[in-house]
């Protein structure tokens, strides 16, 4: 039998203690900051839920000679904000590791964050996104300023190609880093931003590991996947829905039993959307006696553009949702851009998807003639 001796046993215990201590350190986060030119006596580490609009303080620290520190433990990494005074705000993804923050509040974009792999992952993808946006803006600028003879359709095709390239880069990154909460937060950011075709992100969402399933961002992505994975087609039954209209009427599938109706999804902001809605109201007035109903669902905050100064026809209902894209009916119908429209027949089946206003008018005429 081998004999390790006193030195061998001592080395074993020292190694074990160091390992245990290191494990404890990695199971907690330690943030040390040195930010110059701040105006505040205290710093706060805050977690914000962008969906629910809620926030809470994780830890706080007194600011002494520009320095502050936070300590704690997180179940999973998450996006946080460091608030110093009323003006200095630093966003970062906090994970259980040793994180160093340095820089000056006067130049926020040059503040350095070290020690958070998930923050690095997020920033890597954000850089790709910024390059994509710059290329798109350059294309539009050249076309508008006649620096490029490319037609508008060709420009749009190029922009779609640039967006697809960005989505493919994101897919490749997640495929290599399926446990990255930073990458999950980036995809989560893209979904909330709604500037990217959501259905194109579904393959990327499927790549995330179950090891990070407890992350609020992955939970949200999985819920979106379940909703937007539904691909409605002409002839499909209309998704079950129910909401209370602006006038207080309960609107659901049964409300339109044996009736033809149009569900129009529109933005509540902008003159172009206001003009479209004025046309919808004209079509509703035109079809009052034809047993055809119109429903307009506005996404966003209600403003003057949606308060069209016209008497509303009796076959026209509105619903303003301040939950933006989180509106249940919007998700049920898989709407990912605006405007969007569905024509439903008297058997509650989808008759047409995203028709133009002229096509809606024509279909309404045919419905009347068939009746």
60-85 pLDDT, tens digit each: 999 999 999 999 999 999 999 999 98
- Looking at the domain assignment, is residue 233 inside a domain? no
Note whether residue 236 is domain-resident: no
Q: How confident is the model at residue 8 (pLDDT cuts 50, 70, 90)?
A: low
Average pLDDT, the chain: 86
- The structural domain count of the chain equals 3
pLDDT (tens digit per residue) in 239-289: 999 999 999 999 999 999 999 999 999 987 767 678 889 999 999 999 999
CATH number of the domain residue 276 falls in: 3.40.30.10
- Tell me which range, 178-182, 217-221, 232-236, 246-250, is most confidently predicted by mean pLDDT: 178-182
Inform me whether the pLDDT recorded for 182 exceeds 60.
Answer: yes
The range of the structural domain enclosing residue 150 comes to: 119-228
Query: Does residue 288 fall inside a structural domain?
Result: yes
More confident residue, 145 or 313: 313
Q: What is the dihedral of CA 38, 43, 47, 53, to 10 degrees?
A: -70
Measured CA distances, 247 to 135, 262, 298, 320 (Å): 45, 18, 14, 11
Percent of the chain with pLDDT over 70: 85
pLDDT band at 305 (very low <50, low <70, confident <90, very high): very low
274 and 220 co-located in one domain: no
Q: Tell whether 128 and 111 lie within a shared domain.
A: no
Q: In whole angstroms, what is the distance from residue 195 CA to residue 126 CA? A: 14
Q: CB of 288 within 8 A of CB of 316?
A: no
- What pLDDT does residue 20 have? 45
Domain end (from 82, 115, 148): 115
Name the E strands within the chain: 29-36, 42-49, 54-62, 67-72, 78-84, 88-94, 98-104, 112-114, 242-244, 250-252, 260-267, 292-299, 316-321, 340-344, 350-353
Mean pLDDT of 97-101: 97
pLDDT at 370 over 60: no
Residue 216 CB neighbour total at 10 angstroms: 19
pLDDT at 303: 53
Residue 66 domain-assigned (yes or no): yes
- Asked whether residue 237 is assigned to any structural domain, the reply reads no
Buried b (16+ CB within 10 A) or exposed e, 24-35: eeeeebebbbeb
- pLDDT at 74 (0 to 100): 94
pLDDT value for 226: 74
**CA pair distance 221, 205, nearest whole angstrom:** 6
Which of 64, 81, 115 delimits the end of a domain? 115
pLDDT value, residue 251? 95
Task: Indicate the pairing of strand 250-252 with strand 242-244.
Answer: antiparallel
The answer on 183 and 138 residing in a single domain is yes
CA distance 131 to 127: 6
Residue 109 belongs to a domain with what CATH number? 2.60.40
Residues 293 and 279 in one domain: yes
**pLDDT for position 145:** 74
Q: Are residues 196 and 307 in the same domain?
A: no
pLDDT given at position 2:
43
Average pLDDT score over residue span 200-220: 92
Residues 153 and 271 in one domain: no
What does the pLDDT read at residue 98? Answer: 97
Question: In the listed set 99, 115, 131, which residue is the last one of a domain according to the structure?
Answer: 115
Do residue 70 and residue 95 come from a single domain? yes
**Taking 70 as the threshold, does the pLDDT of residue 13 lie above it?**
no
Let me know whether 360 and 267 are in one domain: yes
As a whole number, mean pLDDT of residues 200-226 equals 90
Q: What is the DSSP letter of 237?
A: B
Residues 33 and 135 in one domain: no
329 and 264 in a common domain: yes
| Structural domain includes residue 359 | yes
How does residue 310 score in pLDDT terms, banded at 50, 70 and 90?
low
> 162 and 186, same structural domain?
yes
Segment 143-160 mean pLDDT: 76
Residue 235 domain-assigned?
no
282 and 351 assigned to the same domain: yes
The number of beta carbons lying within 10 Å of the beta carbon of residue 323 is 12
């Amino acid at each position: 039998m081998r004999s390790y001796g006193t030195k061998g046993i001592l080395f074993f215990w020292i190694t074990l203690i160091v390992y245990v201590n290191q494990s404890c350190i990695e199971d907690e986060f330690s943030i040390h900051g040195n930010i110059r030119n701040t105006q505040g006596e205290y710093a706060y580490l805050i977690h914000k839920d962008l969906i629910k609009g809620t926030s809470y303080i994780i830890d706080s620290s007194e600011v002494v000679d520009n320095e502050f520190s936070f300590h704690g433990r997180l179940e999973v990494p998450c996006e946080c904000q460091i608030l110093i005074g009323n003006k200095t705000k630093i966003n970062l993804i906090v994970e259980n590791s040793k994180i160093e923050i340095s820089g000056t509040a006067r130049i926020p974009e040059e503040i350095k964050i070290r020690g958070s792999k998930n923050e690095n992952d997020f920033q890597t993808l954000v850089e790709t996104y910024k390059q994509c946006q710059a290329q798109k803006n350059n294309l539009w600028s050249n076309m508008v300023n006649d620096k490029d003879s490319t037609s508008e359709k060709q420009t749009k095709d190029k922009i779609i190609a640039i967006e697809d390239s960005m989505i493919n880069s994101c897919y490749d990154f997640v495929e290599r880093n399926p446990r990255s909460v930073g990458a999950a937060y980036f995809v989560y950011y893209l979904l909330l931003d709604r500037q990217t075709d959501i259905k194109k992100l579904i393959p990327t969402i499927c790549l995330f590991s179950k090891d990070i399933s407890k992350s609020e961002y992955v939970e949200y992505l999985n819920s979106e996947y379940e909703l937007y994975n539904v691909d409605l087609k002409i002839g499909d039954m209309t998704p079950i829905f129910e909401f209370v209209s602006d006038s207080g009427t309960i609107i659901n599938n049964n409300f339109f039993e044996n009736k033809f109706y149009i569900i129009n999804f529109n933005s509540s902001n902008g003159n172009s959307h206001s003009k479209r809605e004025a046309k919808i109201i004209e079509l509703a007035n035109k079809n009052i006696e034809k047993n055809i109903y119109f429903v307009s669902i506005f996404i966003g905050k209600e403003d003057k553009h949606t308060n069209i100064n016209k008497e509303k026809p009796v076959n026209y209902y509105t619903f303003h949702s301040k939950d933006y894209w989180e509106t249940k009916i919007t998700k049920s119908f898989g709407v990912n851009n605006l405007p969007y429209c569905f024509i439903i027949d008297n058997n509650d089946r989808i008759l047409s998807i995203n028709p133009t206003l002229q096509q809606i008018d024509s279909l309404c005429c045919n419905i009347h003639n068939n009746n």
